[in-house]
Amino acid sequence: MTAGGLTTGAAPGTLPNADYWVDKLGLVPTAVGGLFAPTFAGDNQLLHSALPERFTGDRRGYSANYYLLQQGFFLAMHQLNQDELWNFYMGSPVRLHVFGTSYSTVTIGPDIDAGQALQGVAPHNTWFGGELVGDEPYVLVGCSLAPGYDPRDSSRPTAADIGALEKAFPDQQAIIERLTAGS
């Protein structure tokens, strides 16, 4: 089978297994769950003085990566200094849970008629995490950020942050607990 010019070895109408993508894309584990591989990054530098105060140091203009999340795992709650745009490629739909001034979700997947979206965004400085909601063994998405990602841009919630989220969003306490397990 060919997908995007790649020979997957999968039978027609089936997804290649996750190990295929791990090998072909060079995916590695992340600190927040799932696997990722960087793809592109802008060669222009944005100076710290031109960025909002939430950034420390210079940044590339943009960055993009592949992200794969398998059944039985979740994307742990975290926040970024920049918006993260998610683009669906294949597999199971993934639901992002976003906690800002209000709680919202976006289900990123291929079934537009069922309310899914091919793209979704986790806005900067919101807490967000995700989980698969379909039957496929994984989801493969692309995630893009501008300015470009730097490890200093990501933070995990503290116990105080988790408590504040649970107080602010009591109806989502089970989701918060699930996506902060191990924090």
Is residue 144 situated within a structural domain?
A: yes
Position 77 in a domain: yes
Query: Rounded CA gap, 70 and 141, in Å?
Result: 12
Question: pTM for the complete prediction?
Answer: 0.90
Q: Side-chain half-sphere of 52: how many Cα atoms within 13 Å?
A: 9
Asked, for residue 13, whether it belongs to a domain, the answer is no
- Mean per-residue pLDDT for 162-180? 97
CATH number at residue 144: 2.60.120.10
How distant, in Å, are the alpha carbons of 70, 128, 152 from that of 73?
6, 15, 24
Q: How many domains does the chain contain in total?
A: 1
- 123: pLDDT strictly greater than 50: yes
The pLDDT, as a whole number, for residue 13 is: 60
Q: What DSSP character marks residue 115?
A: T
Q: Is residue 1 part of a domain?
A: no
**Token pair in block for residue 178:** 């699930």
Do 14 and 37 meet the contact criterion of CB atoms below 8 Å apart? no
Residue 10 domain-assigned?
no
3-state helix, strand, coil in the chain (%, to 5): 20, 40, 40
> Looking at the domain assignment, is residue 27 inside a domain?
no
Evaluate if residue 178 carries a pLDDT over 80: yes
Residue 17 lies in a domain: no
Containing structural domain, residue 154? 40-179
Considering the chain, what is the average pLDDT of its residues? 92
pLDDT of res. 4 = 36
According to DSSP, residue 172 is labeled: G
pLDDT tens sequence across 90-101: 999 999 999 999
DSSP-derived 3-state class of residue 72: coil
**Domain-located, residue 69:** yes
Q: Single out the residue of 111, 25, 127, 10 nearest to residue 68, CA to CA.
A: 25
